[in-house]
Structure 1
């Protein structure tokens, strides 16, 4: 299978790559030399960059923010936890996934995973909070986004 980089992967493509269960958004790329550390494997900080890159795309695709409008909410990670499972090396193809597992009025839980060769290599779970554009208070998740969380991500409403 030819792997398309920087293009959302379908459910079928995710299945073929061993990603189970498939996630609402998944995109592939390849490890670059500049992402390696002195031990010749991917630097831990790079994983966070990969997760952030897809998280920004996810937020854009679900309609929370275009990151270019003055009335868009500020998107803040309140807390997060990363679990490194297996190292990554030069030229490995990988897929980063993203999906919402639960949401409240102004915050939601995201689960992100990193897969390579049919094996989960890392996982990042975080809680994202929406703030008003000036950062003075919290902002409610729009109804259309809440519906998408339920219908597509199969997320649970927690109130």
Structure 2
């Protein structure tokens, strides 16, 4: 998939985040680990729109991050404003993938892209559970041009 062809219109959920001075590293660009924080903040808000208001250990229906793959596409510096998109791109029986892309709000260009595999999980029983209808209903494949 060529993430550089994506735009914010390809996503069901968008969150705006402003970079902070402390997000830069010694090379004066946004540190690679900082983007993971941006992704996490956006992903948690997106999941709350799907019924996961309490992503906590005491929940009987929650998710757990199983894997992630990150592609760094462009450098970015402070100050910047980002639009971060999330959408479900794969469904399994007990797991699903979220594609998330960080776009520079000024240029619209993709800066960083990530695929996050989440497993639906019952923390009380410590077992995986089937994905819920809200997740199933939020799934739609990306257009074939991508």
Q: Which runs of 5+ in 2 are unaligned?
A: 1-5
Where in structure 1 do 4 or more consecutive aligned residues deviate above 4 Å? none
TM-score (structure 2 length as normaliser): 0.82
Matches within 5 A, 1:29-68: 29-67=17-55
Residue 72 to residue 34, structure 1, CA distance change in 2 (3 Å): farther
CA distance in 1, matches of 2:125, 2:97: 20
**Cα RMSD between the aligned structures?**
2.1
Q: What whole-Å deviation, never above 9, does each CA across 1:56-75 have from its counterpart, x for those lacking one?
A: 00111111343368334342
Contact 1:66–1:72 (CA under 8 A) maintained in structure 2:
no
Query: Could you say which residue in structure 2 is the equivalent of 1:10?
Result: none
SS at 1:26 equivalent? strand
Residue 30 to residue 131, structure 1, CA distance change in 2 (3 Å): same
Matches within 5 A, 1:63-82: 63-67=51-55, 70-82=58-70
TM-score (structure 1 length as normaliser): 0.76
Alpha-carbon offset, residue 135 of structure 1:
5.6
Return the structure number with greater relative CO, CA threshold 8 A, min gap 6.
2
